[in-house]
Amino acid sequence: MAQSGSAGLLQRQLKAMQLAKDLPGISCGLVNDNVYEWEVMLMISDDCKYYGGGNFRCHLAFPTSYPHMPPSLTFKGHIPFHPNVYSNGALCISILHPPEEDQYGYESAAERWSPVQTPETILLSVISLLRSPSTEGPANVEAAMLLREEQEKGNKVFTRRCRSIVRATLEDY
């Protein structure tokens, strides 16, 4: 019963996103007709400082306990060089962490997953994170370190690494 309820909800949410006119740069579809697995394309607008013009392919995997538990998002293909993205493409963002107290005390329960989140709010948060990378509690320590150095000293090593990956995403199309 829970599986069919979550499947119906995901079907409705996918349809709403596909019909939405106010979600430029986000395209979603099912993987192998499985409503619990979505392929997502994030086409980042040119005005984004580090990732502008990039086309990032992602996999959004929902548990059958959705919306009570969060999905996971993994970048596929060209993975953004980003403080909040692990080298395997897994995204580390508070809203995708289970709805419980953080055992390490970095996040409050209010910052973590809540059933009011939707695939749309998740993907908009991902785009926001690409626009404004966070160096706190990084998944990619090297990216966080280079971003901090760039912000403090003005070198462009972080920007060059990001732009190189953006160019690679464009070669795929």
Q: Quick check: is 92 catalytic? A: yes
The CB density around residue 70, as the number of other CB atoms within 10 Å, is 22
| Cβ neighbours around 144 below 10 Å, total | 20
Quote the longest CA-to-CA distance of the chain.
56
Cα 126 to Cα 56: distance, rounded to the nearest angstrom: 11
* Full 3-state SS string of 88-131: CCEECCHHHCCCCCCCCCCCCHHHCCCCCCCHHHHHHHHHHHHH
The Cβ of residue 40 has, within 10 Å, a number of other Cβ atoms equal to 21
Asked whether 158 and 146 are in contact (CB, 8 A), the reply is yes
Q: Which residue, 60, 73, 75, is CA-closest to 13?
A: 60
Catalytic residue among 28, 58, 92, 162: 92
Which residues have a catalytic role annotated?
92
